[in-house]
Amino acid sequence: MSFAAKPLVAGDLFEASARLSTEIDQEVARLAEPAERIAVLRRRWDEIAALGWPATVVPEEFGGAGGGLLDLAALVEGAGRAALPLPLASVCGAVPALLGAAFVNAGEGGAALAREALTGVAEGRLRICPVLALATQGGAEGRADREGRPPLAARPGSGDDGAAALVLDGAVLGVEAPPEPTHYLLACPVHPAVGQEQSAALVLLPADAPGLAARWHERIDGRPAVDLDLRSVPVPVGQVLARGEAVRERVASVSDAGALLVCVEAVSAMGALLEQTIAYLSTRVQFGVPLASFQALRHRVAEMYVAYRSLRALVGRTLRRATEDGATAPPWREVALAKLRLGGVGRFMAEAAIQLHGGMGMTQELAAARLAKRILMAEFEYGDTDHQARRLLAAAR
Partner 1 sequence: MTEARATTAGEAAEYEAFRAEVRDFALSHCPPELRAMVAAYRKLERRELETWQRILYRRGWGAPNWPKEYGGTGWDLRRRVIFEEVMAECDCPPQPHQGLRHIGPVLIEFGTPEQKARFLPRILSGDDYWCQGYSEPGAGSDLASLKTRAVRDGDFYVVDGQKIWTSGAHEADMMFALVRTSTEARKQDGITMLLIPMDSPGIRVRPIRTIDAWHPHVNEVFLDGVRVPVANRIGEEGKGWRYAKFLLDRERLGPVHALAPGLRFLERARDLVARELSGVADTRKRELLELRLLMAEAEILGLRELGEEAIDDLMHGRPLGTAPSVLKLGWSEASQGITEAAFDAAGGRLAARFLPVEGSGPNAGAPEGIEWIHNFLYFRARSIFGGSSEIQKNLIARDLFGA
Q: Which residues form the interface with partner 1 (CB under 8 A)? A: 1-3, 8-11, 70, 274, 278, 281-282, 292, 295, 298-299, 301-303, 305-306, 309-314, 316-317, 319-320, 323, 334, 337-338, 340-341, 344, 389, 392-393, 396
Nearest-approach distance from CB 324 to partner 1, in angstroms: 9
Nearest-approach distance from CB 260 to partner 1, in angstroms: 12
Q: Using the minimum distance from each CB to partner 1, give the nearer residue, 3 or 35.
A: 3
Nearest-approach distance from CB 190 to partner 1, in angstroms: 32
Nearest-approach distance from CB 291 to partner 1, in angstroms: 10
- Separation of alpha carbons 379 and 48, rounded Å: 25
Q: Using the minimum distance from each CB to partner 1, give the nearer residue, 135 or 313.
A: 313
Nearest-approach distance from CB 284 to partner 1, in angstroms: 13
Q: Using the minimum distance from each CB to partner 1, give the nearer residue, 17 or 198.
A: 17
Q: Using the minimum distance from each CB to partner 1, give the nearer residue, 108 or 324.
A: 324
Q: Using the minimum distance from each CB to partner 1, give the nearer residue, 32 or 396.
A: 396
- Separation of alpha carbons 231 and 168, rounded Å: 7
Q: Using the minimum distance from each CB to partner 1, give the nearer residue, 217 or 284.
A: 284
Q: Using the minimum distance from each CB to partner 1, give the nearer residue, 8 or 102.
A: 8
Nearest-approach distance from CB 111 to partner 1, in angstroms: 34
Nearest-approach distance from CB 371 to partner 1, in angstroms: 17
Nearest-approach distance from CB 58 to partner 1, in angstroms: 22
Q: Using the minimum distance from each CB to partner 1, give the nearer residue, 69 or 190.
A: 69
Q: Using the minimum distance from each CB to partner 1, give the nearer residue, 12 or 160.
A: 12
Within a 13 Å sphere around the CA of 389, how many CA atoms are in the beta-carbon half?
10
Our measurement of the distance from residue 359's CA atom to the centroid of its chain's CA atoms, rounded to an integer in Å, reads 30
Nearest-approach distance from CB 141 to partner 1, in angstroms: 23
CA dihedral 216, 22, 89, 185 (to 10 degrees): 30
First vs last C-alpha separation in the chain: 48
Q: How far is CA 133 from CA 123, 177, 210, 239, in A?
A: 27, 14, 20, 17
Q: Using the minimum distance from each CB to partner 1, give the nearer residue, 193 or 285.
A: 285
Residue 11 φ/ψ region, left for φ over 0, alpha for ψ in the -120 to 50 degree band, beta for the rest? left
Say if residue 127 is exposed, middle or buried (CB neighbours under 10 Å; 0-12, 13-18, 19+).
buried
- Separation of alpha carbons 73 and 55, rounded Å: 14
- Do 341 and 314 form a contact (C-beta atoms < 8 A)? yes
Residue 211 φ/ψ region, left for φ over 0, alpha for ψ in the -120 to 50 degree band, beta for the rest? left
Q: Which residues contact 125 (CB under 8 A, 6 or more apart)?
A: 182
Nearest-approach distance from CB 323 to partner 1, in angstroms: 7
- Separation of alpha carbons 66 and 55, rounded Å: 8
